[in-house]
Structure 1
Amino acid sequence: MRLYDAAAIIRSKNAGPFAVTIDLFFADEDSYRLARSAALLTPAGVAAAYGVDERTVKGVWWDDRIQAAKVSLQRWSSSSDPFCTDLFGAHLHTPLAAAELV
């Protein structure tokens, strides 16, 4: 199962000019538990999905109360870079969303 099949909402946005944050919200406890136990949603799994060094992943945080998670990682180019293809970081969640929950 891919992350986008398990999550009800996946969105990304800039967290300053050099970082991006990805918010994950799950509609039910089963999907949340599946995602929380997946190797994908660890710093190593996120790094593999983006093809970056694990040190660029700042963390994965979970909130059981609202069945949600937040992933933060360094941007590979500054949001102020004139050649940046996603100035607002709005589409930077795609590699993670399309990855398999394993």
Structure 2
Amino acid sequence: MPSIYFSVVWPDETRSQCYSPSTVIKKYIVEGESYEVELFLEKVREGLGEASDRVSAKFGFSCSAAADELRTIEERIEKANYPKGSKVLVKRITENDL
């Protein structure tokens, strides 16, 4: 199952590389697009949830890496307390076809 890395630029201009165990995340976020922080979090929650479901359907167990990535993103957003209307840029999406 191909996985995805998506690089984001946070409102404070810091960068992160995030992971999804499935390409399904591309239904939720688009390379080059900016999303308000709240919308980005909503899209990532849905996308990583569906990605974990796909792993579960294929392998019989949910993907802890997807849950860990979501927790990391949620914690970052909570700690940063970005001002309302701040945006996250999805800089790049890369498939990892292992």
TM score, norm. by length of structure 1:
0.33
Query: Higher helix proportion, which one?
Result: 2
TM-score, normalised to structure 2, is 0.34
Greater relative contact order structure (CA < 8 Å, 6+ sep): 2
